[in-house]
Amino acid sequence: MNFDPRFSGRKFTSVGTRPIRPDGIDKVTGRARYGADFNMAGQLVGRILRSPHAHARIVKIDTSKAEKLAGVKAVITAADLPDLTDGDAAMYDVLDNCMARTKALYDGHAVAAVAAVDARTARQALKLIEVEYELLPHVTDVDEAAKHTAPLINDTIFTEGLEEKPVKPSNVTKRSQFGHGDVHQGFGHADFIVERSFKTEQTHQGYIEPHACVANFSSDGTADLWVCTQGHFVYRQHCAQLLGMEASKLRVTSSEIGGGFGGKTHVWAEPVALALSRKAGRPVKLVMTRDEVFRASGPTSATSIDVKIGARKDGTITAAEATLRYSCGPYAGSWAEIGAMTAFACYKLDNVKTVGYEVLVNRPKTAAYRAPSAPMAAFAVESAVDELAKKIGMDPVDFRIRNAAQEGTRSSYGPVYGPIGIGPTLEAVKSHPHMKAPLGKNQGRGMACGFWFNFGGQTCTDLNIGMDGSVSLAVGTVDVGGSRASLSLVAAEELGIDYAQVKAIVADTSSLGYNDMTDGSRGTFSSSMATISAARNAIKILRERAAQMWDIAVDDVVWEKGHAIAKGEKHGNLGKLSLKEIAVESGKTGGPIAGHSELVADGAGVSFATHICDIEVDPETGATRVLRYTVVQDAGKAVHPTYVEGQYQGGAAQGIGWALNEEYIYGKDGRLQNPGFLDYRIPVCSDLPMIDTQILEIPNPNHPYGVRGVGETSIVPPLAAIANAVSNAAGVRMTHIPMSPPRILAAIEAVREWSK
Amino acid sequence: MVEVTLWGSLAATAGGNSKVEIEAKDIRELFRKLAEQYPGLEPWIDQGIAVAIDGTIYRDTWSKKLPEGAEIFLLPRLAGG
């Protein structure tokens, strides 16, 4: 990489300010175009037929009646999406998830699709498709599925990661282990030990915008796809591979995104829309209903976690151990592995061991959800940490400060930490006024810590300077949380110009080199690095052009505060040349002025947060009310503080919903019983207090401005912080998420019964 | 020569060795020599392995130098949300 990413400690002019976001007006006036807002002349309506069964062999699909219905232009099944994955097991799973091949693996699994002239005809056609199923026994609970007696979901899977290859297939696809030291010895040195089991139910990312796309396959073999996604380059790769196309023949344009949170990181229905368009010879628009979004896209894992932590009387943790079982849906994943890595990452531990088990269940394919897998592990660990502090008689914040990881600590997942922010977030919480505020009757306060890795990745950016001196910035990372604003600030900072002079867009896949998707909190981290690099490349050109205009050597020209300046006494009579003045003359000095950058933005700094929550519990009904919530998180450097705060608040809001209400509920028949926002209740404004935030800035040494990712860590502590608050308010340790009113009431009544 | 630590599951694939010594100047050479010495690791490398160098995680920068005496830790390449 021809770019030095090291932190330089510079003083900022634009970065750190709070201008209006460039996409704001369109979004609040309804002009912004989301996935379902795009239309083409002659487009057909695509609809998908989904399995009503949790587990069934597909014996036969007869589409002949549907094909004969007037207005139907194409009907497809798995036969129209042949396996072109060439041994790529992960892509095969994506393909099978888009369109079931031999078995329907969950309620909602796609088995066929139609394209028709209107929605009514498409729905009628779905009813005319005859599918003969052979029902198979199913399992939806993670603990039940892990048992040897459970119905097998895939009899070709043998558990990986065991010392000896098992002789029987299993729903447990993989065992992974992390840690160091000797936990057995460590527990021997403990004066107090807490050992508990926890469960969390499956939740959906709850993005308001459903999956939506318009596919247009041309007879010359090229195609266009307009789609709501977190990564249009990744969608291009997936679709091209699954449809047997060259990637360059498929142009993917990303729409505005009404939430993704990890759920829009791989394709769900887009290959189906393209296959329908290819067969029909017309554009096809495919928009999932909310029912489909819940039944057939992106929930996170349900989990079952055992935690054991021991400490000496002085509050030093001597050993920590966790066994984590995460559901993956019907396809192999690495969700428990991530949980096992993150579980104890906040702490300095001499003896730690975590073991993760990936478990197949007859539920939708698990997708990432904002710091995937970390919130559930943090819930279990931070609940046990709180209980242990109480047992020792220490303040929970002091107990965590005593055991917090710091620079030089060996992390529980392996490497030694560089400079990190867990200690400072805890110190900030300790001195925060929220911790001293009085509590009333039936009210409790909880706090908890959280960790996330943050990633970088492949990134490509173009910066073009117009002849009027305005700057257009084309990036390839989808803007999920205000990155067009933050990247415009970065471009303005580097060029030394006003923010209003910069216009950032998300370019389509034919206009820019490959970009990894916006995941792993990488949008601003990665694209800011590429923007800095592109701007510096443009400045080189600007200096050359100024040198031409002055007819002096380029080495005598420096760039300062948006101007070329001739250095040296011999040039003393030359004034400054602004970016605009140089741009105006560009046609006569060599043509357009642009800066380009392609790089791998590695070295994203790990991130920590500590949250505080006050809850009131109604002991008669188990109902809860969040009274006050505070997020303290390390951002490295907040490029646009308002949107950093927005990320903190968004993570906390989603965490509150997850902790208190949200839950996939399956019947004994293996069917999802609550696939809609009426029965799957995410928090609305009236459920939430104003969420306070405090941004800490501990610079990431591997970014020129010190930026770390901020998008994910904020969802890690809420489950635990809220569980600790509810447990303190209700006087009983809560071990099952969500802590819905019936669960809280049952826990309170169990204690009342026990005390009699 | 650098000492490389493998996470639990990967160590099983490398004949139970959780630490291996490799003569490698950068991540690219490290992966090549690991695959030569422990063929069982090759599919893992193909799927993607992250390398932590003194605590900083690198997923794609195969040209990253491995400083003498640095702590080199192999980790699963993780998904984000």
Same domain, A544 and A633: no
- Separation CA A223–CA A447 (nearest Å): 51
Same domain, A512 and A589: yes
Alpha-carbon distance values, A324 to A82, A99, A301, A373 (Å): 36, 31, 11, 10
- Candidates A413, A602, A658, A713: best to mutate against B (most CBs of B within 10 A) is A602
Same domain, A595 and A658: no
| Model confidence band, residue B15 (pLDDT cutoffs 50, 70, 90) | confident
Same domain, A446 and A466: no
- A244 burial (CB, 10 Å; 0-12 / 13-18 / 19+) is exposed
Direct distance between the N- and C-terminal alpha carbons of chain A, in angstroms, rounded to an integer: 69
Chain A CB within 8 Å of residue B75 CB: yes
Same domain, A567 and A640: no
What average pLDDT does range A435-461 have in this prediction?
Answer: 97
DSSP A256: B
**CB spacing of B80 vs A175 below 8 angstroms:** no
Cα–Cα nearest to A633, from A561, A542, A536, A712: A712
pLDDT at A177: 93
Same domain, A564 and A662: no
- Separation CA A97–CA A102 (nearest Å): 11
Alpha-carbon distance values, A278 to A74, A84, A253, A261, A659 (Å): 9, 16, 18, 30, 44
- Separation CA A658–CA A302 (nearest Å): 12
Average confidence score pLDDT of chain A: 97
Same domain, A218 and A119: yes
Q: Which two tokens stand for residue A178?
A: 């992390």
pLDDT at A101: 97
Last residue of a domain, one of A559, A586, A601: A601
Cα–Cα nearest to B72, from B58, B49, B52: B52
Alpha-carbon distance values, B10 to A176, A197, B14, B80 (Å): 9, 28, 7, 21
Cis peptide before B76 (omega within 30 of 0): no
pLDDT in tens, A642-696: 999 999 999 999 999 999 999 999 999 999 999 999 999 999 999 999 999 999 9
Chain A CB within 8 Å of residue B19 CB: no
Rounded (10°) angle between helices A89-98 and A232-243: 90
Q: What residue numbers bound the domain in which B63 lies?
A: 2-76
Tell me the backbone φ, ψ of residue A412, rounded to 5 degrees.
-65, -20
Last residue of a domain, one of A296, A321, A345: A296
Q: How many domains does chain B have?
A: 1
Model confidence at A1: pLDDT above 60? no
| b/e sequence A699-738, b meaning 16+ C-beta within 10 Å | bbebbbbbbbbbbbbbbbbbbbbbbbbbbbbbebbbbbbb
What average pLDDT does range A449-472 have in this prediction?
Answer: 96
- Separation CA A118–CA A46 (nearest Å): 9
On whether the CB atoms of residues A264 and A204 are closer than 8 A, the answer is no
pLDDT at A359: 98
Alpha-carbon distance values, A452 to A74, A394, A685 (Å): 45, 26, 27
Direct distance between the N- and C-terminal alpha carbons of chain B, in angstroms, rounded to an integer: 36
Residue with tokens 């992974």: A176
Alpha-carbon distance values, A82 to A214, A217, A251 (Å): 21, 17, 22
Chain A CB within 8 Å of residue B45 CB: no
What average pLDDT does range A375-399 have in this prediction?
Answer: 98
> Is B18 part of any domain?
yes
Q: Which two tokens stand for residue A542?
A: 């600007």
pLDDT in tens, A118-172: 999 999 999 999 999 999 999 999 999 999 999 999 999 999 988 888 999 999 9
* Residue A616's CATH number: 3.30.365.10
- Separation CA A503–CA A247 (nearest Å): 28
> Is A745 part of any domain?
yes
What average pLDDT does range A185-211 have in this prediction?
Answer: 98
> Is A172 part of any domain?
no
- Separation CA B4–CA B22 (nearest Å): 7
> Is A502 part of any domain?
yes
- A262 burial (CB, 10 Å; 0-12 / 13-18 / 19+) is buried
The Cβ of residue B26 has, within 10 Å, a number of other Cβ atoms equal to: 15
Same domain, A132 and A252: yes
pLDDT in tens, A737-751: 999 999 999 999 999
On whether the CB atoms of residues B62 and B77 are closer than 8 A, the answer is no
On whether the CB atoms of residues A319 and A341 are closer than 8 A, the answer is no
SS3 A425: helix
**CB spacing of B76 vs A341 below 8 angstroms:** yes
Distance of residue A332 Cα from the nearest chain B Cα, in angstroms? 14
Same domain, A616 and A711: yes
Query: Which of B5, B76, B80 faces A520 most closely, judged by CB atoms?
Result: B80
Model confidence at A245: pLDDT above 90? yes
Q: What residue numbers bound the domain in which A517 lies?
A: 24-32+456-601
* Residue B39's CATH number: 3.10.20.30
- Separation CA A604–CA A522 (nearest Å): 8
Residue pairs between chains A and B whose CB atoms are closer than 8 Å: 112
- Separation CA A443–CA A274 (nearest Å): 54
Same domain, A473 and A585: yes
**CB spacing of A161 vs B8 below 8 angstroms:** yes
The sign one gets for the Cα dihedral A618, A619, A623, A627 is: positive
Which residue in chain A is spatially nearest to B73 when comparing CA positions? A415
Would you state the torsion angle of the CA atoms of residues A531, A536, A542, A548, taken in this order, to the nearest 10 degrees?
A: -150
Q: How many domains does chain A have?
A: 3
Same domain, A507 and A431: no
pLDDT at A605: 83
pLDDT at A139: 98
- Residue A89: which residues within 8 A CB-CB, separation 6 or more? A332
Q: Which two tokens stand for residue A356?
A: 């993760």
Provide the percentage of residues in chain A whose pLDDT is more than 70: 100
**CB spacing of B59 vs A160 below 8 angstroms:** no
> Is B81 part of any domain?
no
Chain A CB within 8 Å of residue B59 CB: yes
Query: Which of A176, A262, A370 faces B8 most closely, judged by CB atoms?
Result: A176
Which residues of chain B make contact with A174, given a CB cutoff of 8 A? 9
Cis peptide before A738 (omega within 30 of 0): yes
- Give me the sheet containing A303-311, strands edge to edge: A172-180, A352-359, A317-327, A303-311, A192-200, A736-737
- Separation CA A102–CA A79 (nearest Å): 11
Same domain, A473 and A498: yes
0.90 cut: is pTM over it? yes
The Cβ of residue A756 has, within 10 Å, a number of other Cβ atoms equal to: 4
- Model-level ipTM above the cut of 0.90: yes
**CB spacing of B78 vs A416 below 8 angstroms:** no
Tell me the residue type at A367: A
Cα–Cα nearest to A404, from A376, A387, A373, A427: A427
Distance of residue B9 Cα from the nearest chain A Cα, in angstroms? 5
Query: Which of A177, A371, A417 faces B55 most closely, judged by CB atoms?
Result: A417
Residue with tokens 């910066």: A463
Bridge partners of residue A299, in order along the sequence: A204
pLDDT at A25: 94
Indicate the pairing of strand A223-227 with strand A250-254. parallel
Model confidence at A455: pLDDT above 80? yes
* Residue A263's CATH number: 3.90.1170.50
Q: Which two tokens stand for residue B78?
A: 């993780």
> Is B14 part of any domain?
yes
pLDDT at B80: 87
pLDDT in tens, B32-72: 999 999 998 998 898 889 999 998 889 888 999 999 889 99
Last residue of a domain, one of A601, A622, A646: A601
What average pLDDT does range A448-469 have in this prediction?
Answer: 96
On whether the CB atoms of residues A443 and A615 are closer than 8 A, the answer is yes
pLDDT at A676: 97
Q: How many residues does chain B have?
A: 81
Residue with tokens 């309506």: A45
pLDDT in tens, A571-611: 888 899 999 999 999 999 999 999 999 999 998 889 999 99
Q: Which two tokens stand for residue A604?
A: 């994203």
pLDDT at B79: 81
pLDDT in tens, A344-363: 999 999 999 999 999 999 99
> Is A342 part of any domain?
no
> Is A76 part of any domain?
yes
pLDDT in tens, A700-740: 999 999 999 999 999 999 999 999 999 999 999 999 999 99
**CB spacing of A337 vs B76 below 8 angstroms:** yes
